[in-house]
């Protein structure tokens, strides 16, 4: 109920109408990966998904940032059920790939920002290795690129007050990892799939 | 307010026209054979369907009273300004100025109408927003294309907020012998503006040959413009008894509304060409964005407001 209200509010505020290049998928393990420039990004992707998928979808977020203070921790853990992962001091015990893998094994989907942090919104940085590790551990896993537009203008990094412009969410055709591909090759092809959506407009 | 005879008649006319358009659209859709005509009719019918919804929202709000009308136009301004700013290139340094434009300047402009403070309403955006925006952008510390950026925000505020706010401001005019009936005047104004759009569209599609400014808008022809002008003036004259005007005055005002409506449409098309888009958004099926629907109204509103205020209020 609250999740539906939050999703509707997010859609109204960001003015987004999701554009699916494929049919919207059924709930199940899957990785949505997107360009990242705003705190609203994950919220808007979640709001764009069909409600059955939204309920079975976890946002992957940085533990160092979202454990930063009580409000953030409450938002991340209690409101959005985010999967908080370590991005700086990775050890065997807090291995992010392990935690993400577990979620997929449970049959849930993940929302990942493979650039590893918010950018200015103008360029897409090279991808961190997370997507690759998931592809290795889960052969046949579907990856869906999600291109977000204008969210960096609605709530850019370092601002707390939003400007309610109209954003656009494009969810591209999903693909699987070709097991012949090497790490850099796969990450590059994933990044290119995302960049192609930008030109799709 | 529905007990008011003028209002009931105006509403009746609108519903009659819409009903006619819906029936004609259905017949045309059944008869259309070529791919091109099918597309044209489908767009026409999408427009008619959107008109039903817009008329419903507008009529209900105007019947609920002045405050609802002010809120409705405030929301419309908000959505139009949102479309304008989304399409306009802005920079990070404009963020805070834009925040205040959305959440302070727009509400204040409409609150001023709600509390009927005419003096400040008339100068708030041209003077105080004009001062505030560049100051706030300068504090943002980014000088790149400063003049262009601040001008665009101010331009958007004038067209989407200041001009549009002159429509509900008609409710605060104190016209002798017409008190308590200003909602009819507002309805009359909107009816002429929107009918003029439709007349131009019909005349242009039927007889349009000579484009007025082909690069800006190939669909706006002299035939459409003049046909619309004459038709709207005639409608204005016929409806004079719903207004505080004599028949010739009502015709002259309808003429002015139609002329400015056309000018607004043309000017906002030029802005769209400049921004490289066809519509301001896709919020209203068949019409485009809120601003596509408000462009003619925006330019006609201050003109009609001040003509009425100058000549018909003490």
- pLDDT for residue A52: 87
- pLDDT for residue A200: 65
CB pairs under 8 A between A and B: 30
Domain that holds residue A24: 2-200
Contacts of B82 in chain A (CB under 8 A): 15, 164-166
* Record: contact A166-B281, CB cut-off 8 A: yes
- pLDDT for residue B1: 45
Structure token pair of residue B9: 């008649």
For residue A54, the domain's CATH number is 3.40.1130.10
Is the residue at B301 inside a domain? no
State how far residue B96 is from chain A, nearest Cα, in angstroms: 8
The most confident of B55-59, B213-217, B246-250, by mean pLDDT: B246-250
> Residue B40: pLDDT above 60?
yes
Is the residue at B188 inside a domain? no
Is the residue at B78 inside a domain? yes
Interval B51-71 mean pLDDT: 90
Is the residue at B34 inside a domain? no
Is the residue at B117 inside a domain? yes
Q: What is the pLDDT along chain A (201 residues), one digit of tens a residue?
A: 777 888 888 888 888 888 999 888 888 899 999 999 998 998 899 899 988 888 889 999 888 888 888 888 888 888 788 898 887 777 777 788 888 999 999 999 999 999 988 888 778 898 988 899 999 999 889 999 999 999 999 999 889 999 999 999 999 999 998 888 888 999 999 999 999 998 765
Contacts of B156 in chain A (CB under 8 A): none
Is the residue at B11 inside a domain? no
Contacts of B282 in chain A (CB under 8 A): 17
Q: Tens digits of per-residue pLDDT, B149-172?
A: 999 999 999 999 999 999 999 999
Number of structural domains (chain A) is 1
Domain that holds residue B140: 67-172
The most confident of A155-164, B126-135, B197-206, B276-285, by mean pLDDT: B126-135
Is the residue at B148 inside a domain? yes
Q: Give the least confident one: A75-84, A127-136, B135-144, B231-240.
A: A75-84
Task: Please state the pTM of the whole predicted model.
Answer: 0.91
> Residue B94: pLDDT above 60?
yes
> Residue B104: pLDDT above 90?
yes
State whether residue B223 sits within 8 Å of chain A by CB.
no
Contacts of B281 in chain A (CB under 8 A): 166
- pLDDT for residue A33: 95
Of B86, B92, B282, Cβ closest to residue A165: B86
């Amino acid at each position: 109920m609250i999740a539906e209200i939050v999703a509707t509010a997010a859609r109204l505020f960001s003015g987004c109408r999701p554009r699916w290049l494929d049919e919207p998928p059924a709930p199940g393990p899957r990785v949505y990966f997107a360009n990242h420039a705003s705190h609203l990004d994950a919220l808007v992707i979640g709001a764009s998904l069909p409600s059955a998928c939204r309920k079975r979808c976890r946002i992957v977020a940085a533990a160092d940032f979202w454990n930063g203070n009580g409000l953030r921790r409450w938002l991340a853990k209690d409101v959005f059920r985010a999967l908080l992962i370590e991005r700086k001091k990775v050890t065997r015990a807090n291995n992010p790939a392990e935690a993400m893998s577990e979620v997929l094994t449970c049959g849930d989907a993940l929302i990942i920002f493979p650039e590893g942090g918010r950018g200015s919104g103008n360029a897409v940085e090279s991808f961190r290795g997370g997507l690759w590790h998931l592809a290795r551990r889960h052969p046949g896993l579907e990856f869906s690129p999600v291109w977000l537009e204008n969210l960096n203008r609605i709530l850019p990094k370092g601002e707390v007050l939003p400007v309610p412009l109209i954003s656009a969410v494009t969810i591209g055709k999903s693909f699987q990892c070709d097991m012949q591909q090497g790490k850099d090759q796969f990450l590059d092809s994933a990044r290119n799939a995302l960049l192609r959506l930008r030109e799709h407009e | 307010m529905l007990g008011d005879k003028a209002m009931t008649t105006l509403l009746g006319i609108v519903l009659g026209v819409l009903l006619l358009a819906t029936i004609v659209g259905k017949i045309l859709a059944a008869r259309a054979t070529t791919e091109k005509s099918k597309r044209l009719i489908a767009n026409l019918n999408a427009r008619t369907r959107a008109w039903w919804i817009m008329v419903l929202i507008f009529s209900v709000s105007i019947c609920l009273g002045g405050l609802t009308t002010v809120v409705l136009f405030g929301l419309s301004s908000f959505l139009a300004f949102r479309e304008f700013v989304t399409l306009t290139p802005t920079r990070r340094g404009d963020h805070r100025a834009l925040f205040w434009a959305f959440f302070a300047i727009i509400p204040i402009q409409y609150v001023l109408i709600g509390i009927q403070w005419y003096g400040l309403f008339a100068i708030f955006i041209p003077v105080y927003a004009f001062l505030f925006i560049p100051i706030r952008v300068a504090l943002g510390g980014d000088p790149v294309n400063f003049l262009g950026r601040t001008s665009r925000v101010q331009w958007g505020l004038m067209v989407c907020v200041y001009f549009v706010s002159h429509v509900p401001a008609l409710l605060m005019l104190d016209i002798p012998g017409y008190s308590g009936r200003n909602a009819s005047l507002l309805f009359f104004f909107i009816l002429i503006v929107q009918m003029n759009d439709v007349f131009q569209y019909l005349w242009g599609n039927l007889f349009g040959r000579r484009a007025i400014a082909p690069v800006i808008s190939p669909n706006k022809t002299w035939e459409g413009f003049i046909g619309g002008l004459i038709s709207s003036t005639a409608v204005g004259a016929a409806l004079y008894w719903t207004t505080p005007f004599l028949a010739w005055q009502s015709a002259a005002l309808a003429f002015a509304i139609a002329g400015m409506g056309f000018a607004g449409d043309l000017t906002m098309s030029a802005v769209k060409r400049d921004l490289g888009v066809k519509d301001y958004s896709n919020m209203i099926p068949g019409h485009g964005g809120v601003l596509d629907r408000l462009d003619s109204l925006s330019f006609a509103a201050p003109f009609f407001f001040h003509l009425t205020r100058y000549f018909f209020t003490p």
